[in-house]
Amino acid sequence: MSDERSTPMLQITDLHAYYGKSHVLHGVNLHVGQGEIVCLLGRNGVGRSTTAKAVMGQVAARGAIRLKGQDILGRKAYEIARCGIGYVPEDRSIFPDLTVKQNLMLGMKDAKAVGRWSFDDMYALFPRLKERENTPGGVLSGGEQQMLTLCRTLMGDPDLIMIDEPTEGLAPKIVEQVGQFLLEIRKRGISILLIEQKLAIALDISERLYLMGHGRIVFEGTPDDLKNNAAIRKEWLEV
């Protein structure tokens, strides 16, 4: 790892999270380096989405969460977003009555500021969005909606983006497009925490990965480390 990544973009230390009296995360530790793609794997219900929600201040949590060395635990979600985190939830959360372009405009932090991403960038990465520029978001296909929510988040010019199950329900061709899109994001120096259940995309594009089980990290390593550990895959990932 280079000196540029010596201070993690995101550092999570001994994170516990709760839904009411239900204790969901039990001392999670993970980090994402600058310009790094890190995947958080695991079966449904093990706490992956809760980890992202805890980072965004959407669930009760204790421990430490630092972005670029700055403590963000306990802040409001909008304050955390302004610190430089983009979040793409599993439900995509587009505005169905607004057009593609209007959805993208809502993602911008400041219409007057010049960020790393423009409308032209989004349309170059996903030409289909240009074709559908004036189409309401609600009539887009699932793949188009996923493209739109990814692009809308990038329009806010985040330093780190957390993406929850971006390939869920998508055709293989669209999954491949999403993977290439994430690699392009990394080329521009943006860090990515990818929450996935599909092993193939995680092994293909991530530099490191974590495997979660029962609210804890049960494995950390490279894609090759996981490929070579059949016992861990069988116990914590495979159905």
**Which band of pLDDT confidence, cut at 50, 70 and 90, is reported for residue 17?**
very high
Class of domain 1-84+200-239: alpha beta
H or E element at residue 193: strand 191-196
Whether 113 shows a pLDDT value over 70: the answer reads no
Contact status, residue 150 vs residue 88, Cβ threshold 8 Å: yes
| 127 SS3 class | helix
| 37 SS3 class | strand
Structural tokens at position 173: 């061709």
**Which band of pLDDT confidence, cut at 50, 70 and 90, is reported for residue 112?**
low
Instruction: State residue 92's pLDDT score.
Output: 77
Q: Is 76 exposed, middle or buried (0-12, 13-18, 19+ CB in 10 A)?
A: exposed
Instruction: Read off the pLDDT of each residue in 191-210 and give the average, rounded to a whole number.
Output: 94
Which range, of 7-11, 60-64, 176-180, averages the lowest pLDDT? Answer: 176-180
pTM score above 0.85:
yes
pLDDT digits (tens, 9 = 90+) for 145-170: 998 999 999 999 999 999 999 988 88
Contact status, residue 80 vs residue 55, Cβ threshold 8 Å: yes
Instruction: State residue 1's pLDDT score.
Output: 38
Instruction: Read off the pLDDT of each residue in 166-181 and give the average, rounded to a whole number.
Output: 88
Q: How far apart are CA 121 and CA 41, in angstroms?
A: 29
Domain ranges of the chain: 1-84+200-239
